[in-house]
Amino acid sequence: MLKNIQEWTLLLSIFGIVALLGNWIGYNVLPLDALLGMIVLVLICLAGLIIQKIMPGNIPSVAYVAIVGILVSMPWMPGSAKVVEWTTSVNLLALATPILAYAGIAIGRSWTDFVKLGWRSIVVAVCVLLGTFIGSALIAEVVLRMQGII
Amino acid sequence: MSEERKNLWKDWRLHAIVLGIVLLTELIGTHQFQVGPGVILLLPMLYAIIIGLALYFTPIVKEKQSKNAEPLIVLGVTLLIAKIGVIIGPSLPQIIAAGPALLLQEFGNLGTIFFALPIAIFLGLKRESIGMTHSVAREPNVGLVMDKFGFDSPEGRGVMSIYIFGTVFGAVFMGLIAGFLATLTPLHPLSFAMASGIGSGSMMAAASGSLVAAFPGMENDIVAFAGASNLLSLSTGLYMSIFIGLPLTEKLYNVLTRRKQKKEEMKQEKGA
């Protein structure tokens, strides 16, 4: 467990530093200005990962991470204003870029499988993603309009 | 596995490569161009995945880096989810207000069946099409189909082919079409935000990221709705497939193939 926590902390820190530098270049936020926010995010992750290890059942750790994040930032929680203020300086897109950089390196190994797919599979795959995306958007649009939210 | 997975932080080569990619892509920045009435957004994260993939085929990235990168995606997504959590928190009242829309749009994930299955059958695919189109084919759905039909079944091969496409191109594809469709169609960006949560962290990041870039004024609402929807998809996706998606796909497959058979028989009769 302790070893796990140490490993998570180190990796999240490396990831965090890369994201802070991307945040600086891409979104003009000085790393020092976003440092507190990044530390808060890393702590939220650690809390969620640890809870997942302790709790019974097979609920994925991202669910716990999301719940911890929501809890510490909801309006009824004391100190949530600070959490929101600090984490706002960490841009969402600055976190997404390193994820997809790692993803690009990792999917190289799936490439040989990919090129073996026939053109028909690729057409169907595009339709699957489009169908899901547009289907959900249409239903959301109808319900949000009925509720008068948009 | 545990021995290998430990000390991932020591793979400095991998982290340095990723840092290089991030700095380069953020320097290039976001570019957009008009295609008819819609806008195609090219975001740093899209270049990042393509550069990463390209580097895999150079000596810079070795097999080891590619393997080590996988658990880091998971950890990176965790950090992204933490960020989304602290965006959802303050918006919780709005999300509760939009609860009905959030819940109901989950059924939109079945849109793939009505849209993609007829096309798959039209293209001449057989039972593969059931595995291909019953869901967006993320990990839980792949597990379900393998469990039900077996690894070497046509259904299993079908679901794997969509899984592979989603893994390699899902994020790029979603990132490109989300911003494009939201600027092209009259549908509201928040509807597309909810639709972005299809149960894959990287696809959600790409889709909602391009929505944010297209509509920066709505950033917090877009991310909060996309994140909440993605959590819902993650928790309901499997059950949706078990109880609705897969049975419905099989039914529709039988109906569609029977009609196709009849047509062919009629044609043969006419010819004779």
The whole domain housing A41 covers 2-109
The whole domain housing B115 covers 70-271
Q: Is the same domain home to A100 and A39?
A: yes
Distance between A54 CA and the closest CA of chain B, angstroms: 17
| Residue in B76, B89, B195 nearest the CB of A99 | B76
**How far is the C-alpha of B163 from the C-alpha of B150, rounded, in Å?**
16
The total number of structural domains in chain B stands at: 1
Work out the pLDDT band at B271, boundaries 50, 70, 90: low
* B2 in a structural domain: no
Interval A2-22 mean pLDDT: 95
The SS3 call for residue B42 is strand
Distances (CA, A) of B158 to B37, B155, B188: 35, 5, 33
Work out the pLDDT band at A2, boundaries 50, 70, 90: confident
Query: With an 8 Å Cβ cutoff, are B89 and A137 in contact?
Result: no
H-run or E-run covering B32: strand B31-35
* B243 in a structural domain: yes
Q: Is the same domain home to A6 and A29?
A: yes
Q: What is the pLDDT of residues B91-120, one digit of tens each?
A: 999 999 999 999 999 999 999 999 999 999
* B62 in a structural domain: no
| Residue in B108, B119, B202 nearest the CB of A99 | B202
**How far is the C-alpha of B213 from the C-alpha of B205, rounded, in Å?**
12
Which pLDDT score is estimated for B2? 44
* B22 in a structural domain: no
The total number of structural domains in chain A stands at: 2
Q: Is the same domain home to A104 and A129?
A: no
Would you list the DSSP string of chain A?
-HHHHHHHHHHHHHHHHHHHHHHHHHH---HHHHHHHHHHHHHHHHHHHHHHHHSSS---HHHHHHHHHHHHHSTTSTTHHHHHHHHHTS-HHHHHHHHHHHHHHHHGGGHHHHHHS-HHHHHHHHHHHHHHHHHHHHHHHHHHHHHT--
Query: With an 8 Å Cβ cutoff, are A99 and B205 in contact?
Result: yes
Work out the pLDDT band at B272, boundaries 50, 70, 90: low
**How far is the C-alpha of B237 from the C-alpha of B210, rounded, in Å?**
24
**How far is the C-alpha of B12 from the C-alpha of B14, rounded, in Å?**
5
Which pLDDT score is estimated for B9? 87
CB A92 within 8 A of CB B230: no
Work out the pLDDT band at B3, boundaries 50, 70, 90: very low
Q: Is the same domain home to A46 and A87?
A: yes
Which pLDDT score is estimated for A31? 97
